[in-house]
Structure 1
Amino acid sequence: MNAVVEVETVSMVPARSANPTAEVVAHAKTVQQVMQAVMKPNVHYGAIPGAGEKPTLLKSGAEVLCMTFRIADKYEVTDLSSNGVIRYRVNCVGEHQTTGIPLGSGLGECSTDEEKYRWRKAVCKEEFDITPETHRRLKFGRKQGGHYTVQQVRTEPADLANTVLKMACKRAKIAMVLNVTAASDMFSQDLEDLDAELVKHLAEDERQTQIQMIRDEWIAKVAAAKTRDEVGAIMKEGVKVFQSSRDKDGYSVFATAVQKRGAELKESENA
């Protein structure tokens, strides 16, 4: 059974008070209570390398604070698109849900010219090869022990119009919530590095690159084997590696290479 969590409510509507300091303290206390009792790490807030010690407020966390302080969000969108680039600037205004009194605002902007929206991973080598040189590139990334490359091609800006509009709104809303709730001392501005689609895209790119490197490494070991006993030892070690990486397709290719090399060595021994 879930326990009932009591959170002290504080009005966001400006009011004349004999003790404004007490109101500020009560307000900050409410934000802390919400963070401790309601918010969850990596759901409502998260830690991003290089973003400082303060946790980063995520969109779901901003929505929790809006519900707590009864903040309604309104959006004013300015279309700054030009020359084939989709670009939106959004002003998010926070109003008190009951009275409609404006509490504050926050600006957010997003464009298809940002690197993460301008490029995507090529579907296959053929797509990369037939794409004009001005619309393709090799992206280099760091990984433990070296680097990796990803073949990328330019995206179609029109296909991302809705995505960048939503991102601009997201940035504006989080900026507004931080401004209105004065929670900047507890949270930093949301960074889009944690955007779900982007994280998935980058993770898949890196995983595929690493998987291919593992495949190439173990197939090269098989090809270099001088005896069937050596092939057997490589097979035994390789099985563990492919099981660990959960690469069924890679294991299938590896097993085929082992069988082929074993047959070649057997034939040479019998010759």
Structure 2
Amino acid sequence: MNALAARRRHPAAIAVLILLGLVVTGLAYSVLAPRPAQASASGVDQVGLGKKLFLANCATCHGLQAQGSKVAPSLAGVGAAAVDFQVGTGRMPLAKPDVQAPKQRVQFSNDEIAALAAYVASLAPGPAIPDSQSVSGQGGNVAMGGELFRVNCAMCHNFAGSGGALTRGKFAPSLRNVSGKHIYEAMVTGPQSMPVFNDDNISPQAKNDIIAYLHSVDQEENVGGMNLGNIGPVSEGLFAWVFGLGLMVAFAVWLGKKAA
């Protein structure tokens, strides 16, 4: 009995119990403790990466603080959607100032584009990148989208979205086979000469209807013969009159010479 009591009171037992208590407490804290600081650090890191990319690729024209210059506008308030559209379609960064930035090969990865968008969004509030459900065109009313497109967009982009020329060397780009996200972002940010269509002008559902219409045009085969590039009824009518009447006149001259 005395030997058993001596073992229980061994000096090492206290140290072992304290060490065991510390291990259990540490494990419980690591499992149960919240981690808000880690998520916050991730957002800060993305904005920091975006700023580095901005200074290396965009600051020459837009200024070190994105305040704008004589050749490029300020980016304060344009929002993440504008960056995602311009950089995600290869329009930016622009090699040299021009009347309009054409669509080109994308120069950044998706993560880098997201970082640039996060940095610009941190400067001032602006349109956010839309969620995938709002830009898919699924569930959209194609007929209503076609009507909205013809009223608001066809005068520049053509009734079939084939694009067209504008004044002073500018142009309305083709919307054929353009992703719904970029179509939506263009409507809410108004790039180049395009006006801004916010939610008060065209609701998010109406924007999705327009996307559904444009996607239906991409998938629809022309059943009326040659579409002549879908350049519109006025141009197509002029083509028919000029060449059709020309052929008729030439045929009449040929018949007259043959009869003579």
Query: What is the TM-score normalised by the length of structure 1?
Result: 0.26
Which has the greater radius of gyration? 2
Query: What is the TM-score normalised by the length of structure 2?
Result: 0.27
Q: Counting strand residues as a fraction of each chain, which structure ranks higher?
A: 1
